[in-house]
Structure 1
Amino acid sequence: MATALKWLSMTMGVACVAIGIFHLAAGIDGIPDMGDDGATADSQTRFFGAIFLGYGVVWIWAARQTPIPATVIRWLASIFLLGAVGRFISVAVYGWPHWFQIALTAIEVALPPIYLWLATADEKRTATTPMAGSAPAFS
């Protein structure tokens, strides 16, 4: 479980950093079906690109910890799921977006439960496994 959590978290982090850099560089031209909505939409897109890049850095940081902090993974996965909630609100208000955004929504709904499950399993494993070199607990 720990290995799967580590690699999935690292993959998520690297993907988010790459996506963030892409959106910082491309602005609205990097979003399918965005059109030319002008300076405000471009500014917003580049801003959120920077936020997404930072979000990815936290995923990478968490993946590099030993043990991986389950609480951090739960927060990150929940934020990812909240993004899907935002997309569903958008569907309710404006209708269905470009097919690529629908595919992203499916990923944003499917992955968080996997991260939550892996984080809980890893947390339970580390709670029952004594750390190497640690002294036994006496009561």
Structure 2
Amino acid sequence: MARTLRTLTRLMGWSSVAIGLYHVLLGNAAIPGAGSAGTTVDSWGRFMGAVFVGYGLAWLWAARQRPVPAQAVRWLAGVFLLGGAGRILSLAVHGRPHWFQLVLAAIELGLPPVFFWLADTDERAAIGPATGPAIPGEGAYRASSR
């Protein structure tokens, strides 16, 4: 499971960097349906692309730590989940977007729970197997019966 976390963390980092650079370089052309949105939206999209590059670099930083820090994974996954929630809010307020935006929303809502579940697997693996009793209270019973 720790290997899965490390692999997914790297994948999130590199894909976020690539997507962010794509938006920085292409502006409105990177957003389905936004080709004629104008210079303000183009400027905003390129800026947000740069922010997404930074977000990806934060994922890559986390992936390079030994062990992968659970708190960083949870925060980064929470930001991703917030992005998905923003898409749902937009859907509720403005209606159905381009189909690709719905695919992205599904990823942004579906992937964070996986990261929340895996977040501490590398830290637990670094600690090693549990040394305490398998059943709560078992150790106290054994100690008192000797």
Same fold, TM-score > 0.5, yes or no: yes
User: For 1:1-139, what aligned pairs fall within 5 Å after superposition?
Assistant: 1-128=1-128
TM-score for both structures, normalised by structure 1 = 0.89
Give the structure 1 partner of residue 137 of structure 2.
none
CA contact (8 A) 2:28 2:36 kept: yes
State the 1:33 CA deviation.
1.2
Q: Which structure has the larger Rg?
A: 2
Q: Give the Cα–Cα distance (whole angstroms) in 2 for the partners of residues 127 and 86 of structure 1.
A: 37
TM normalised by structure 2 equals 0.85
Amino acid at match of 1:79: V
SS at match of 1:85: helix
Deviation at 1:126, TM superposition (A): 3.1
Deviations 1:37-83 (A, max 9, x none): 11100000000000000000010110011000000000000000000
Q: Which structure 2 segments of 5+ residues have no match? A: 131-146
Query: Do the aligned residues in 1 keep the contact of 2:28 with 2:45 (CA within 8 Å)?
Result: yes
Instruction: State the match for 1:136 in structure 2.
Output: none
- What is the rounded CA distance, in whole Å, between the counterparts of 1:7 and 1:14 in structure 2? 11
Equivalences, count? 130
Runs ≥4 in structure 1, deviation > 2 angstroms?
Answer: 120-130
